[in-house]
């Protein structure tokens, strides 16, 4: 197969939604199904590479894809000292769309991935530090989709001499900045009711955020009292109201104006298997349109 390949085509898949909406779980299932895929986390970073990744980067041999078990992230989160202080509550605001993300850095990283098929050298991983509930999917369904994507990839190589690889961008602010949106080939958003999100957030032990030295894998952030009610959810509304009719992030329909082609999954009303199948169907529709 490799001898026939003339180009590498990177398909970027956005999996967005509020904190605790299940987007990372969905992204991991897609990563297990899609051939030659990698997860790119939007919301955390560390300053130390794994040994495997360091060796690959220094030898300049890393092209997308990487082995499916390696999870990477765009190291774009603001350094801790640069995260803005909330003007009313006087705590660091890790959720405000305008200030919590180093947007230029993220946009540049996505551009490099899309245009060259290579990963920027400042990618990091510490998702393994965050505890997450295991939500399995039907194995027969996953196997069917895995085979379907394998055949699509094989056909594209044979007909177009192009290697398909998949970057799964997982983040809570994916659809706020237009220059990030325009890089995404497939756009998926998970919506979960406020009360469920709040309960899940409070049940979490914390989040591993940007480290402050090359000796740390990530500092553990715990929500101060009232952080969800006063900062997290208001910031979510601010970042997503333009996507919905009347700005109603809970019940409004997608307008399609700010983010064209966005597919919304109401995951409280479906199983994880159904969410994975809907996502895979959306990805397949995109690929079939590209390679008709």
Residue 236 predicted with pLDDT over 50: yes
Q: Tell me, what's the pLDDT at 209? A: 55
215 has pLDDT over 90 = no
Reduced to 3 states (helix: H, G, I; strand: E, B; else coil), residue 60 is coil
Could you give the CA distance from residue 261 to residue 12 in angstroms, rounded to a whole number?
Answer: 14
Q: 194-203 and 233-240 are packed helices; what angle lies between their axes, rounded to 10 degrees?
A: 130
Question: Would you tell me how many other CB atoms lie within 10 Å of the CB of residue 60?
Answer: 9
What tokens does 194 get? 């406020």
Could you please state the CATH topology (level 3) that the domain comprising 2-290 is classified under.
Rossmann fold (3.40.50)
- Per the prediction, the chain carries an average pLDDT of 80
Model confidence pLDDT, tens digit, residues 28-70:
999 999 999 988 887 543 222 222 222 222 233 333 333 332 3
Ranges of each domain in the chain: 2-290
Give 8's strand partners.
Answer: 163
């Amino acid at each position: 197969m490799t001898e026939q390949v003339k180009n590498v085509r990177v398909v970027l898949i956005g999996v967005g939604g509020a904190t605790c909406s299940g987007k990372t779980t969905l992204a991991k299932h897609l990563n297990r199904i899609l051939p030659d895929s990698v997860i790119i986390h939007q919301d955390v970073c560390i300053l130390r590479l794994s040994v495997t990744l360091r060796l690959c980067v220094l030898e300049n041999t890393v092209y997308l894809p990487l082995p499916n078990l390696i999870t990477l992230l765009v190291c774009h989160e603001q350094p801790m000292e640069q995260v803005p202080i909330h003007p009313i509550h006087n705590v660091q605001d890790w959720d405000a769309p305008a200030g919590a993300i180093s947007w230029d850095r993220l946009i540049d990283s996505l551009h490099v991935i899309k245009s060259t098929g290579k990963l920027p050298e400042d990618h990091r991983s510490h998702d393994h530090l965050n505890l997450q509930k295991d939500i399995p999917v039907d194995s027969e369904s996953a196997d069917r989709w895995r085979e379907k994507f394998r055949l699509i990839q094989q056909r594209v190589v044979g007909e177009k001499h192009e290697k398909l690889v998949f970057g799964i961008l997982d983040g809570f602010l994916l659809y706020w900045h237009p220059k990030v949106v325009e890089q995404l080939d497939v756009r998926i958003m998970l919506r979960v009711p406020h009360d469920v999100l709040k309960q899940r957030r409070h049940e979490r032990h914390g989040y591993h955020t940007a480290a402050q030295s090359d000796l740390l894998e990530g500092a553990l952030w715990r929500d101060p009292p009232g952080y969800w009610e006063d900062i997290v959810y208001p910031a979510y509304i601010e970042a997503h109201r333009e996507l919905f009719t009347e700005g109603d992030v809970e019940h409004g329909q997608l307008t399609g104006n700010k983010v064209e082609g966005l597919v919304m999954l109401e995951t409280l009303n479906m199983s994880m298997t159904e969410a994975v199948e809907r996502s895979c169907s959306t990805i397949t529709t995109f690929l079939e349109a590209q390679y008709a």
